[in-house]
Amino acid sequence: MKIYLNDLNFFGFHGLYEAERKIGNQFKLDIEIDFTPNVERVVQLDQTIDYVQVYNKVKEIMGTPTPLLETLVDTIAAQILEEHSIAERVFVKITKQKLFIESFEGITSVSTIRSR
């Protein structure tokens, strides 16, 4: 099974540049969690991964200013694996919505995949 949390939006002060740390930025996250339930048919929340718990952990992590997006994706993936024993593989992608680079048009993203 897979659980997807797509297009999660957070405002944060992540980045190396002073403007990023001072003004802040919008970030979009996509998360994919592969897992195998311990039961044949999932009928209760405790038999799966509660995406509300995942969201709350991501929100907490995104609330702490971090210089590198690479650190953020790795921290989020590691926390999901640590807190959810049935999670087998986690994909996390963070997209920075605005870049403070002159003449740069577009967005940039960083992603990771972590497995047990």
Per the CB < 8 A criterion, the answer to whether 98 and 88 are in contact is no
Write down the residue that tokens 């998360």 correspond to: 31
3-state DSSP assignment of residue 39:
coil
Q: Between 83 and 38, where is the model more confident?
A: 83
Strands 108-115 and 25-35: unpaired
pLDDT tens for each residue of 94-103: 999 887 777 7
CATH number for 108? 3.30.1130.10
Name the residue among 36, 88, 29, 98 with its Cα closest to residue 60.
Answer: 29
DSSP state of 63: T
pLDDT tens for each residue of 42-87: 998 888 999 999 999 999 999 999 999 999 999 999 999 999 999 9
Q: List the domain range (segments joined by +) for residue 51.
A: 2-115
- In this prediction, residue 20 carries a pLDDT of 86
- In this prediction, residue 106 carries a pLDDT of 82
**Count of domains in the chain?**
1
